[in-house]
Amino acid sequence: MTMSNEESKSNASTLQREIERLKNGHWNMFKRQYREFWDHAKEISGMFKTLKPLLPEDRERLWTEFNSICEEVKTVSKRESESKRTDSKNKRDLVESKIKEAYYQAKGARTSSELSEAKALLSKALDWMKNGWGGFNISTQIVSSMFSEGKMLKVDSDACWEQWKEANEVIKSRRQELCETNYNHFRSKASDSINTTHYGDAREAKSKVRDIQREMKGTQMSKSQFQEIRGLLDDAWQKANSRLQEAFREGQRKHEEWLSRTQGHIERWNDLIQKNEDVISRIEEQIDRCRDMERDAKSSEFAETVRGWIEEKYSKISDIRETNRELEEKIRSANNKIRG
């Protein structure tokens, strides 16, 4: 065999090995790593131009094999992309339905409990936006896809996030409206109790104050509004006490001290809940910035890292919301003790 033929066979063997590596390599956890595959394919394509000499029959055979592998991977990649788009759209539909449910619940909320239901629905939608099917019930998962990873593409995730923020703003706006409505309602009642203290029966005035305090439990108002109403009620209560016998005043004073401490706890817990909501708002802003970073990422690796940050922030929001739920439980427990 001449030196030229030996070189041709050696070059053919080199190409054959690379084609085999291309065919069997570039997998990670049973998933084809397409970027690495096509980078390698580009190198092999260049080798067909640079490896010389190469017998025509070897070139044709190897090129046919190489091209067949590339076409097969291209077909599989296209099929996977279509499947991912379909899975993403299915999950987006589910998430959007939950966000819309929260949106209309908030729009029609007339009480704090109804608004809390809207918040719970929106929190559930946030959980659903994470990768996977956590938070979904079994029937929902089966209907969606038994084999889907439960991941949304960026365009669908971004669309859900924008709708989520819109619904969240509706909840915030509706909360402010409820606060104002409740404030006007209780301020009028508090003023009436003061008038009764001055011109009516002191015991009746105190009964009115107690009724107002019970009615206020669990209502939606800002800290300053609660303080103002309580200030009026405290004034009415004290003026009524001054008109009663000393022994009766002493017993009621002790009750008021206990009630004030408990209400102080509730007020501090409500204040902490509001601070936590502010923290959540800042994290949401950070998520927005991360999504900008993901969109402008120069590499898929960095984009993946940013998505990890986003997932961590989602988890942080969920943790804070769990803390707020615990605080709300404390408030409910304290209200139950006040209610007796």
Q: pLDDT tens across 285-321, in order?
A: 999 999 999 898 899 899 899 999 999 999 999 999 9
Q: Which long-range contacts (CB under 8 A, 24 or more apart) does 311-320 make?
A: 311/130, 311/131, 313/283, 313/286, 313/287, 314/126, 314/129, 314/130, 314/287, 316/283, 317/126, 317/280, 317/283, 317/284, 318/123, 318/126, 318/127, 320/276, 320/279, 320/280, 320/283
Q: What is the mean pLDDT of residues 252-257?
A: 77
CA–CA–CA angle 142, 146, 147 (5° rounding)? 160
What is the per-residue pLDDT for 279? 93
Closest by Cα among 50, 44, 81, 96 to 66: 44
**pTM as predicted:** 0.48
Measured distance CA(215)–CA(224) in Å, rounded: 18
pLDDT surpasses 50 at 1 = no
The set of residues, in sequence order, having a beta carbon less than 8 Å from that of 264 and lying 6+ positions away, is none
Q: Which residue has the higher pLDDT, 251 or 61?
A: 61
What is the per-residue pLDDT for 138? 47
Check: CB of residue 123 under 8 Å from CB of residue 321: yes
What is the per-residue pLDDT for 142? 43
What is the per-residue pLDDT for 252? 66
Q: In the chain, what are the domain boundaries?
A: 3-86
pLDDT surpasses 80 at 67 = yes
Maximum alpha-carbon separation in the chain: 126
Check: CB of residue 90 under 8 Å from CB of residue 144: yes
pLDDT surpasses 90 at 164 = yes
For residue 27, the surrounding DSSP H or E stretch is strand 27-28
Q: What is the mean pLDDT of residues 213-224?
A: 85
Check: CB of residue 54 under 8 Å from CB of residue 12: yes
Measured distance CA(195)–CA(78) in Å, rounded: 77
What is the per-residue pLDDT for 198? 83
CA–CA–CA angle 152, 156, 157 (5° rounding)? 65
The string of DSSP letters for 261-301 reads: HHHHHHHHHHHHHHHHHHHHHHHHHHHHHHHHHHHT-SSHH
DSSP 318: H
Where residue 163 falls among pLDDT bands split at 50, 70, 90? very high
Measured distance CA(101)–CA(123) in Å, rounded: 12
What is the per-residue pLDDT for 201? 85
Measured distance CA(210)–CA(181) in Å, rounded: 20
Q: What is the mean pLDDT of residues 226-240?
A: 89
pLDDT surpasses 80 at 40 = yes
Give the pLDDT confidence of 78-124 residue by residue, as tens digits. 888 888 888 889 899 999 999 999 999 988 888 878 888 999 999 99
- Burial-class residue 60 by CB neighbours within 10 Å (0-12, 13-18, 19+): exposed
